[in-house]
Amino acid sequence: MSDETKPLLSIGDDGIKMNLKKGDSIKINATKSFMKGVEQNVAGGNLEHRATEELTQINNKMEASNGGKILNEVEGGKLFQKDNTMRTTEKGTIVNRVTGKIKIAVWILVVTTVVGILADFTSLYLFGVHIWSKIV
């Protein structure tokens, strides 16, 4: 079967196969994801595996070519990869990363601090002059 006639996703006796061509996209989002023996051929398409707690990939074949992109990402959890074959050609990209939730915590801290400072200035402006006149 030529690459042009292969289905985007096939599940059979020989396992799971993903074949993405230019313009194709598959996005898998999960809390926990386990993949074993999956063949992933991305020739110009975009394949994303995202998990929030755990992404496990064992004995998979990942190939990105012709500008194709494969992203394996865990936000704030664990990425476990064992015995995978990864290959990129012709400007293909495979990215494996673990990101943290620290950005959200820092943003909340900054907003809370700014609001607190503004509240202090407002209190001083509205009530400070009045209190100061009673003290003096």
- Residue 55, pLDDT score: 93
pLDDT at 136 over 80: no
| Between residues 98 and 114, the one the model is more confident about | 98
HSE at residue 9, side-chain half, CA atoms within 13 A, is: 6
pTM for the full predicted model: 0.70
Binning pLDDT at 50, 70 and 90, where does residue 125 land? low
Per cent of the chain over pLDDT 90 is 51
DSSP per residue, 36-60:
ES-EEEEEBSEEEEEEEEEEEEES-
Q: Of 13-17, 26-30, 45-49, 97-101, which range is least confident?
A: 97-101
